[in-house]
Amino acid sequence: MNLFKWKIFIALVLSGATVGTPAIVFGVGKASLSRVGARLSAEMNTICVGEPLICKLKYMYETDSNAPPKEVLHGARVDVIDSNDHTIVQRYRVFPSLLFRERTKGLVTYSGDFSLFWNTQTKEGLIFDRPGRYEVTLTYQADLDQESFRPLSVVVKAASKSNLRALALLSDPNDYAFLELGEHDYPDRRPERMAHLKKVVEQCEGTLLAKWSAGRLGVEYFEEFHRKHPSFIKFKAKYRGGEIKEPLFDQALDYLSMGTDLPDEFALRENVLYLRSRVEFIKGDYEKAASLFDELAAKYPHGEYGKRATRAKAELLELQKREPVQAPRPWVSGWSRLLPLFFVIAAGIFLIAYLLVVKKRAGSRGK
């Protein structure tokens, strides 16, 4: 499956899973709603070269529905121009996550986040690949009010030395796709992609790209660990008992811990928090796992994992109550552990001495 089709698939799955109404998602049996406007915004309007622009898109409708309309999934496109009115991308298809539905002043509003990072139209590199001022606007659609097309102003600053180093390490455009989506056109080259991200983490500490790379690596290693150990309960018992060592688990923990430093608006961060809560559960740190569930519920209440966080925390606490408390092992000093060996050696020495005495007496009688 190529990258473009994959993004469509993910958008459909996420939206369908969140709302649970495939008829609307695929446009079956439901009439289109009366759309009246849209609003484009960004939490951070200033980024550096090599960083993504995270945008929020809202579509407003006059009539009610229990699911987002198909137009949001398939009709969302933006144009990006620089300060010289040079078109960077035109009619660029985006895929809002569609995590939130609310009523605002009598209108039904659907909101979702999307990122502008790697140029999937040309597959040649970044959308914002040089410093300057840019404008992002929704591509014109007749059923939207004039306010919908107000430009979103973006300032792109020069990359720092660490950022430039990170960009150099991500030498293949497919590295960007793997970083953003965990997928690319050449699955057999996954180890190469992983190696590139590791170098970014190791050599570009503190940069956004390093945190992003760590988050992606954490998710990848956790999924690999889960395939190897499908039962967390069985693995947890062996791990806590010191019966097993698993590098995949340790790597997942290390990278997920670094990935939690991502800004809240990154879609990947929600997944990172959720997977880290599972890692902390396996470690037996219920307090840390519970705090991660609290953060998920507070920051991603409409997300795939945030919606489950409150229930997951309750289940975690109930499991903690039922889990038997392991009695501490009695302390035994190092010398105490060696006592049996001393007894064996002493017994051996005594036996040898006894045999020598017996032999000597027997020799005396023979003279």
For residue range 229-262, what is the model confidence (pLDDT) as tens digits? 999 989 999 998 999 999 999 999 999 999 999 9
When mean pLDDT is compared across 38-52, 228-242, 260-274, 327-341, the lowest value belongs to 327-341
- Residue 226, helix vs strand vs coil: helix
Q: Tell me the average pLDDT across 148-173.
A: 93
Residue 353 pLDDT exceeds 70 = no
* Token reading at 114: 């999307």
pTM of the complete model: 0.76
When mean pLDDT is compared across 50-59, 253-262, 344-353, the lowest value belongs to 344-353
1 or 144: which carries more pLDDT confidence?
A: 144
Provide the mean pLDDT of the chain: 81
Q: So what's the pLDDT on residue 305? A: 92
pLDDT above 90 coverage of the chain, percent = 54
Give the strands of the sheet with 132-138, arranged side by side: 46-48, 152-157, 132-138, 77-82, 87-93
**Structural domains of the chain, ranges and CATH numbers in brackets:** 3-158 (2.60.40.1930), 179-322 (1.25.40)
Question: What is the rounded CA–CA span in Å between residue 30 and residue 218?
Answer: 40
Question: What is the rounded CA–CA span in Å between residue 295 and residue 300?
Answer: 8
Q: So what's the pLDDT on residue 63? A: 72
Residues 6 or more apart whose CB falls under 8 angstroms from that of 329 comprise none
Give the strands of the sheet with 107-116, arranged side by side: 35-42, 53-61, 107-116, 100-104
Residues 6 or more apart whose CB falls under 8 angstroms from that of 348 comprise none
Question: What is the rounded CA–CA span in Å between residue 355 and residue 358?
Answer: 5
Residues paired with 82 in a beta bridge:
134
Q: pLDDT tier at 57 (50, 70, 90 boundaries)? A: very high
Q: So what's the pLDDT on residue 97? A: 79
**Burial, 69: exposed, middle or buried (Cβ in 10 Å; 0-12, 13-18, 19+)?**
buried
Distances (CA, A) of 58 to 109, 325, 337: 6, 50, 69
208 or 363: which carries more pLDDT confidence?
A: 208
Dihedral of the alpha carbons of 308, 314, 316, 322, in degrees to the nearest 10: -150
- Residue 234, helix vs strand vs coil: helix
Question: What is the rounded CA–CA span in Å between residue 133 and residue 150?
Answer: 16
Most confident stretch, 66-80, 99-113, 124-138: 124-138
- Please, what is the angle between helix 190-203 and helix 208-228, to 10°? 130
pLDDT per position as a tens digit, 272-325: 999 999 999 999 999 999 999 999 999 999 888 999 999 999 999 888 888 765
- Residue 104, helix vs strand vs coil: strand
Q: Which of 340, 278, 336 is nearest to 312 (CA)?
A: 278
